[in-house]
């Protein structure tokens, strides 16, 4: 019997009374046997879909061999995954973490240590309004999410905020206490707002000129999500430090702090953790890297993303709104706060989508989602939008 009594769990968010029991590709099945087309995929985590064979095989093989030794020792998948990431990114060294926020926390610590050593104790990190970097105390302080400035006071100091794509504001915010600038190439949680390629290029030049670090949070945009391996490739730049997560483990908890050799200044004991670089998780990460690195995979993501954008644009012509984003990280701008209603109705009809803010929907399907599945999603959404939008417009 499936356990469907959820009362022993802490109520940390509003969840529908559904318990999922199985997943396959773009599809989830709940305990009652109802199937759902999943365009959330664990918040862009299941980059190859639910229970894909390469990850299932990698986990089974690794579990039978070695699940855990200790972070005090090297293990083989940990070393292999670090090499694969450095080869793909052009950066030099990796520290694995269990959560995305922990990777960003590590980036913040690295920048502060670097500032202490190389910029006379500089510790400030300029971050962006509406940015999202996680839910630890430091990453919440680094985030520019509305309403968070008053939560869990006092905040960790040292994160002056500027508007995204405003180079002059960044320039004004940089002072002797500044160690780094940190941002997402596309602000996902904020509702899919892109840092322009020109802004990223100018920011790279500015940070170099002022002798400070550029940290990119590629947790949502990395691992092929935008049609390139990493979001920064579109702008033709390279950061000093980057964080990866979500798709990196293909569904298992795995994230990474990645840095250029010359900025890696952790001394023994500065950074670590019991589960960091666990062989089971990193074996899954290796399988993901191999699949994304296959010839044609990223081109396919870009093509599928263009198709999804085109279908969403058609939908917005009928129901109003607009489309933004890149690759398979797209948002439908609804221009009115009907997102939560659409999410609920779509779920009733067997479609999972996400509204990161009330006036938009975000689409983060698996990177190998098919055109037929996109068509199915659009058909359900069209019906749901007709039900919700048409009466609202008639008022």
Q: Does 101 bind ligand PLP (CB under 6 A)?
A: yes
Question: H helices of the chain, where?
Answer: 41-44, 53-65, 76-89, 100-118, 137-142, 167-173, 197-210, 279-292, 297-319, 339-348, 371-394
Nearer to ligand PLP, 75 or 97 (CB): 97
Nearer to ligand PLP, 47 or 385 (CB): 47
Calculate the CA dihedral of residues 331, 333, 338, 344 and round it to 10 degrees.
Answer: -20
| Nearest distance in Å: CB 253, ligand PLP | 8
Q: Which residues contact 234 (CB under 8 A, 6 or more apart)?
A: 185, 197, 226, 228, 326
DSSP 295: T
382 is annotated as an active-site residue: no
161 is annotated as an active-site residue: no
Nearer to ligand PLP, 124 or 184 (CB): 184
Indicate the residue whose CB is closest to ligand PLP.
100
Nearer to ligand PLP, 119 or 362 (CB): 362
Q: Of 114, 123, 132, 230, which one interacts with ligand PLP (CB under 6 A)?
A: 132
Q: Which of 57, 46, 49 is CA-nearest to residue 25?
A: 49
Q: Of 23, 77, 106, 134, which one interacts with ligand PLP (CB under 6 A)?
A: 134
Out of 132, 193, 230, 363, the active site residue is 132
Cα 392 to chain centroid, rounded? 33
230 is annotated as an active-site residue: no
The footprint of ligand PLP on residues 162-221 (CB under 6 A) is 184, 188-189, 217, 219-220
The footprint of ligand PLP on residues 269-328 (CB under 6 A) is none
Cα 265 to chain centroid, rounded? 26
Alpha-carbon gap, residue 372 to 375, rounded angstroms: 5
Out of 30, 229, 246, 363, the active site residue is 246
Alpha-carbon gap, residue 326 to 251, rounded angstroms: 22
Residues involved in catalysis? 132, 217, 246
Question: By the criterion CB under 6 A, which residues form the site for ligand PLP?
Answer: 43, 99-101, 104, 132-135, 184, 188-189, 217, 219-220, 245
């Amino acid at each position: 019997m499936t356990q469907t009594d959820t009362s022993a769990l802490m109520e940390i968010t509003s969840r529908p009374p559904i318990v999922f029991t199985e997943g396959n590709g773009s599809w989830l099945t709940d305990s009652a046997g109802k199937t759902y087309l999943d365009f959330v995929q664990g918040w862009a985590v299941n980059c190859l879909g639910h229970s894909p064979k390469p990850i299932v095989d990698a986990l089974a093989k690794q579990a039978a061999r070695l699940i855990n030794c200790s972070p005090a020792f090297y293990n083989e998948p940990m070393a292999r995954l670090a090499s694969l990431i450095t080869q793909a990114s052009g950066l030099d060294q990796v520290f694995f973490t269990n959560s995305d926020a922990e990777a960003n926390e590590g980036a913040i610590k690295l920048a502060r240590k670097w500032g202490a050593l190389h910029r006379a104790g500089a510790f400030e990190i300029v971050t962006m309004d509406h940015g999202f970097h996680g839910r630890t105390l430091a990453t919440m302080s680094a985030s520019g999410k509305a309403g968070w400035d008053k939560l869990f006071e006092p905040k960790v100091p040292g994160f002056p905020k500027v508007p995204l794509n405003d180079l002059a504001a960044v320039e004004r915010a940089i002072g002797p206490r500044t160690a780094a600038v940190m941002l997402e190439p596309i602000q996902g949680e904020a509702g899919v707002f892109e840092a322009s390629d020109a802004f990223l290029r100018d920011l790279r030049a500015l940070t170099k000129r002022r002798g400070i670090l550029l940290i990119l949070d590629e947790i949502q945009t990395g691992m092929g999500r935008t049609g390139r391996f990493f979001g920064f490739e579109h702008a033709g730049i390279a950061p000093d430090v980057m964080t990866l997560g979500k798709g990196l483990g293909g569904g298992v908890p795995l994230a990474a702090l990645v840095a250029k050799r010359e900025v890696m200044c952790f001394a023994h004991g500065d950074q670590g953790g019991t589960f960091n670089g666990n062989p089971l998780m990193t074996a899954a990460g290796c399988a993901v890297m191999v699949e994304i690195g296959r010839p044609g995979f990223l081109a396919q993501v870009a093509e599928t993303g263009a198709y999804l954008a085109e279908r969403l644009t058609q939908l917005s012509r009928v129901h109003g709104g607009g489309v933004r984003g890149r690759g398979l990280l797209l948002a439908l701008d609804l221009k009115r706060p009907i997102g939560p209603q659409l999410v609920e109705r779509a779920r009733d009809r067997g479609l999972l989508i996400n509204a990161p803010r009330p006036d938009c929907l975000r689409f983060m399907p698996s990177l190998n989602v098919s055109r037929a599945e996109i068509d199915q999603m659009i058909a359900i959404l069209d019906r749901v939008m007709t039900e919700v939008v048409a009466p609202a417009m008639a008022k």
